[in-house]
Amino acid sequence: MDDPLQDLEAELRLLRPRTLSAGLLARVEEELTGLEAARAAHPVRRWQFPLAGAPRWLIWPVATALVAVCGIAIAYWWWPAIPSRSPALSAQVSAPAEPASAFFKPVAATQFLYESLDEGPVMLSSGLPARCVCDRYVDTYTWRNPRTRASVQWTIPRAEVRVVPVDAL
């Protein structure tokens, strides 16, 4: 089954690399010695980190402080300036011609009962039996500005506890 592969392996084992010519070896040696001489004549300066001589524990605090200073500088330049309030400017601001209630008007009010729990029997102060019922609602109020057609909607959860008297027969 593996006869062709075994034959190929046997042929490959018989192969031997050629010996290098003397001229090739001389040229390679010449180039290597020329390269070593060039390196000796012109040493390569390697870049070194400015704080390389400093203790390693000093590098991280310095880097953190640098990042913090850059962040504060960016926030200072990009953050909008807070206008100062002067009495002269405050006096010039006038109240709107229309009252605030004229801008938005109530349009709809809905209440949605989503849970009613019977919390069990209770005894009234008069001695009569009663049941305590807790109803939970979600109230939604919608106000609209007729001029701009903008609307505001409030959704408020509400719980209502009722005591219902029980008729004993």
Domain assignment present for residue 118? The answer is yes
Domain assignment present for residue 114? The answer is yes
CB 141 within 8 A of CB 106: yes
Domain assignment present for residue 37? The answer is no
pLDDT at 39: 76
Domain assignment present for residue 31? The answer is no
Q: How far apart are CA 143 and CA 152, in angstroms?
A: 5
Domain assignment present for residue 44? The answer is no
Tell me the HSE value of 58 on the side-chain side, using a 13 A CA sphere.
6
Tally of domains within the chain: 2
* Averaged pLDDT of the chain: 81
CB 116 within 8 A of CB 135: yes
**Domain of 107?**
101-165
Pair (108, 141) in one structural domain: yes
Domain assignment present for residue 122? The answer is yes
- Per residue in 50-62, pLDDT tens? 656 666 677 778 8
Query: Does position 25 have pLDDT exceeding 80, yes or no?
Result: yes
What are 118's two structure tokens?
């019977």
Judged by phi (left if over 0) then psi (alpha if -120 to 50, else beta), residue 100 lies in alpha
Domain assignment present for residue 56? The answer is yes
Query: Does position 84 have pLDDT exceeding 60, yes or no?
Result: no
- Per residue in 142-162, pLDDT tens? 999 988 889 999 899 999 999
Pair (120, 150) in one structural domain: yes
DSSP structure class, residue 98: S
Pair (114, 63) in one structural domain: no
Domain assignment present for residue 43? The answer is no
Pair (111, 144) in one structural domain: yes
> H helices of 81-168, where?
87-92
Pair (70, 118) in one structural domain: no
